[in-house]
């Protein structure tokens, strides 16, 4: 079974049923680097090598046997599971002294070089190739089966399958977003070529796409922005709508996930709207005119009107930022909530209590029917949230380029 947080948690792999992607490594040298770095034996090997450098820095350093025991106990806490020895030193052993030492840039660079040298996975793979037992290799093969690791072509390094160590790393949601963007380019490039030739709309796909384009233009952009300025922003609004819709719908497909269930994605989309609001407002009203447009015109003596106008201006600027923050959170919350409820219903049929219950058949029927109905609701929500985000973006743009 796939991870229960598959659709709402970003990762650096795609998860499919184990039978579709079996892993049959025969030695530790064949395992991917990110997996070897999580192995307890490798981490102790790394710790022993790094300790020699640490002992050179401190003449009163505790014996390695004591630090090793403390390190193993520290990693036993789920909060520190899989963390390397250098993090243990920073957070636990001599934390105050070590923190002061690393605060100096030259020392920090020397230490990082020592960490990279000690944590040499290629060197570890060539040390005693038979060190891993057959049972460990079999267990690791079982865990990795069904996980399609994403290649990292830009030299990025992974700490684990969910966290980046350094550099730029491609995650599952990034790949899905690139796929959605590519599909949109192909679809609308095809549509633009035919419209540009003046052909008559023919076929279901052409009529479907054109109906969406006309709807966004006539029912979203023009009512919210105005007929005079709306058409300039229609391409942006169409891009937002279809990109969000594609990301939302990808969460309905097996073994993928919804990038809009990640705050980084929804925040990035909100930043695009925010930048458009500021850019269009400055272009239309000027820098000072944009902010002056937020302050109310009060027909009172300036001694009274000026403080009130400044106070309202501060509130309006804060409101401008908050509105776009809420724009990101609204989309995120709706996409995450649906997946969580769907996971909860599905898990009813697979829970230990449900499997042992005499009413397991009824539980399974409820779970299947409930999941089906909720999936239909999620399909509706995918379209609805794309529309709401696009419509609110149009409203914010319209309010920025018109005098109040």
| Domain map (residue ranges) of the chain | 23-144, 176-401
Other residues' Cβ atoms within 10 Å of the Cβ of residue 240: 21
Tokens in use for 311? 């106070």
Pairing label, strands 13-15, 147-149? antiparallel
Q: Is 343 exposed, middle or buried (0-12, 13-18, 19+ CB in 10 A)?
A: middle
Point out which residues pair with 384 in neighbouring strands. Answer: none
pTM given for the model: 0.80
| Cα 41 to Cα 332: distance, rounded to the nearest angstrom | 40
In angstroms and rounded to an integer, the radius of gyration of the C-alpha atoms of the chain is 28
What pLDDT was estimated at residue 174? 92
| Cα 256 to Cα 327: distance, rounded to the nearest angstrom | 24
What pLDDT was estimated at residue 282? 87
Count of alpha carbons within 13 angstroms of residue 35, beta-carbon side: 21
Indicate the Cα dihedral angle 345, 351, 355, 361, nearest 10°: 0
What pLDDT was estimated at residue 202? 81
What pLDDT was estimated at residue 5? 47
| Cα 288 to Cα 208: distance, rounded to the nearest angstrom | 43
What pLDDT was estimated at residue 393? 92
Q: Find out whether 29 and 129 touch, Cβ atoms under 8 Å.
A: yes
Residue-by-residue pLDDT tens, the chain, 404 positions: 334 444 457 889 998 888 889 999 988 888 988 888 888 888 888 888 888 887 777 777 778 888 888 888 888 887 777 788 888 877 775 666 666 777 777 777 887 888 888 888 888 888 765 578 888 889 999 999 989 999 988 888 888 888 887 788 899 999 999 999 999 999 999 888 888 887 777 888 888 888 999 999 999 999 988 888 888 899 999 999 999 999 998 888 888 888 998 888 999 999 999 999 999 888 888 888 777 777 667 666 766 767 777 777 788 788 888 888 999 998 888 888 776 766 666 666 556 555 555 566 666 676 667 667 777 777 888 898 999 999 999 999 988 887 66
Q: Find out whether 331 and 266 touch, Cβ atoms under 8 Å.
A: yes
Tokens in use for 82? 């899989």
Point out which residues pair with 166 in neighbouring strands. Answer: 157
- Phi, psi angle pair for 149, to nearest 5°: -70, 140
* H or E segment and range at residue 165: strand 164-166
Q: List C-alpha distances in Å: 285 to 21, 51, 228, 393, 395.
A: 57, 63, 16, 19, 17
Indicate the Cα dihedral angle 206, 207, 210, 211, nearest 10°: -160
| Cα 159 to Cα 33: distance, rounded to the nearest angstrom | 10
- DSSP result, 293-307: TTS----S-HHHHHH
């Amino acid at each position: 079974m796939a991870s229960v947080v598959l659709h709402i948690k970003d990762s650096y792999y795609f998860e499919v049923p184990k039978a579709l992607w079996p892993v049959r490594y025969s030695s530790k040298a064949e395992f991917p680097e990110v997996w070897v770095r999580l192995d307890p034996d490798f981490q102790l090997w790394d710790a022993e090598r790094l300790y020699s450098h640490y002992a050179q820095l401190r003449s009163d350093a505790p014996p390695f046997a004591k630090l090793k025991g403390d390190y193993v106990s520290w990693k036993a806490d789920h909060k520190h599971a899989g963390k390397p020895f250098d993090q243990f030193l920073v957070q636990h052993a001599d934390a105050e002294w070590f923190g002061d030492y690393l605060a100096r840039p030259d020392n920090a660079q020397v230490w990082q070089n020592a960490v990279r040298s000690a944590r040499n996975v290629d060197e570890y793979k060539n040390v005693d190739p038979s060190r891993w037992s057959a049972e460990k290799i079999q267990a690791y093969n079982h865990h990795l089966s069904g996980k399609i690791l994403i290649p990292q072509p830009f030299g990025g390094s992974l700490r684990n399958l969910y966290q980046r160590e350094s550099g730029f790393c491609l995650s599952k949601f990034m790949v899905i977003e690139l796929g959605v963007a590519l599909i949109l380019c192909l679809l609308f490039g095809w549509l633009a070529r035919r419209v540009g030739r003046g052909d008559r709309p023919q076929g279901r796909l052409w009529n479907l796409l054109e109906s969406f384009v006309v709807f966004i233009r006539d029912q979203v952009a023009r009512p919210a922005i105005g007929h005079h300025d709306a058409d300039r922003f229609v391409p942006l609004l169409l891009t937002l709508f279809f990109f969000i819709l594609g990301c939302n719908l990808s969460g309905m497909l097996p073994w993928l996930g919804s990038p809009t269930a990640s705050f980084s994605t929804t925040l990035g989309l909100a930043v695009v709207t925010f930048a458009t609001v500021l850019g269009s407002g400055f272009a239309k009203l000027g820098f000072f005119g944009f902010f002056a447009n937020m302050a109310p015109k009060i027909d009172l003596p300036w001694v009274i009107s000026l403080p009130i106008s400044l106070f309202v201006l501060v509130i309006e600027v804060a409101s401008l930022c908050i509105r776009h923050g809420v724009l990101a959170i609204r989309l995120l919350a709706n996409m995450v909530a649906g997946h969580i409820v769907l996971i909860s219903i599905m898990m009813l049929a697979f829970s230990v209590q449900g499997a042992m219950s005499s009413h397991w058949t009824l539980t399974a029927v409820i779970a299947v029917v409930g999941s089906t109905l909720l999936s239909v609701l999620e399909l509706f929500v995918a379209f609805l949230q794309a529309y709401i985000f696009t419509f609110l973006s149009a409203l914010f743009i319209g309010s920025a380029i018109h005098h109040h």
